[in-house]
Amino acid sequence: MTRGKLVLSVVVLLIVAVGLGFAWGASGRVTSEHALDDVKQQLDLAESRGHILEARVSLFNVNFGDAQRQLDDAKAPLQRARDRYQAGGKREAAQALTTALEHLQEAQRLAGRLDQNANNQANEALNAIKAASK
């Protein structure tokens, strides 16, 4: 009977040790995942801003083809950022990025027509991104 109690005690201790090890290993995981998501969000916003600013420089240099390409490249990271805001329940920020995407589409359309007003639309997109990241 003592041997049975000893085996049972060892099994219980192993289960407790495994449970504590799992809890200890997972304790910082949620915080790290949130920090990683925040960094991804900021990276996507910065990448989008960079492409828009490059497009504005191209528009100043009257290089409409490059401006169109840069504006198109700005859309993908902006859409990822918007989707993350929507998944996180941040509707106002997601709406601001939707507005920025609309301005980008209009700027791209104007750049395709060789219209310098594309610069104004690109600036409005930057302002919408700035409002979303506050």
Check whether 1 has a pLDDT greater than 70. no
pLDDT, tens only, 97-118: 999 999 999 999 999 999 999 9
Higher pLDDT pick, 111 / 20: 111
Set out the domains of the chain in order of their start, with CATH numbers.
33-132 (1.20.120.660)
> Considering the chain, what is the average pLDDT of its residues?
91
Contact in structure between 60 and 111 (CB atoms under 8 Å)? no
* Residues of the chain above pLDDT 90, percent: 71
SS3 of 33-99: the string is: HHHHHHHHHHHHHHHHHHHHHHHHHHHHCCCHHHHHHHHHHHHHHHHHHHHHHHHCCCHHHHHHHHH
Higher pLDDT pick, 77 / 15: 77
pLDDT, tens only, 21-34: 777 776 677 788 88
Structure tokens at 114: 């060789």
Contact in structure between 97 and 45 (CB atoms under 8 Å)? no
Check whether 89 has a pLDDT greater than 80. yes
Instruction: Indicate the range of 7-21, 35-49, 78-92 predicted with least confidence.
Output: 7-21
Instruction: Indicate the range of 23-32, 58-67, 73-82, 95-104 predicted with least confidence.
Output: 23-32
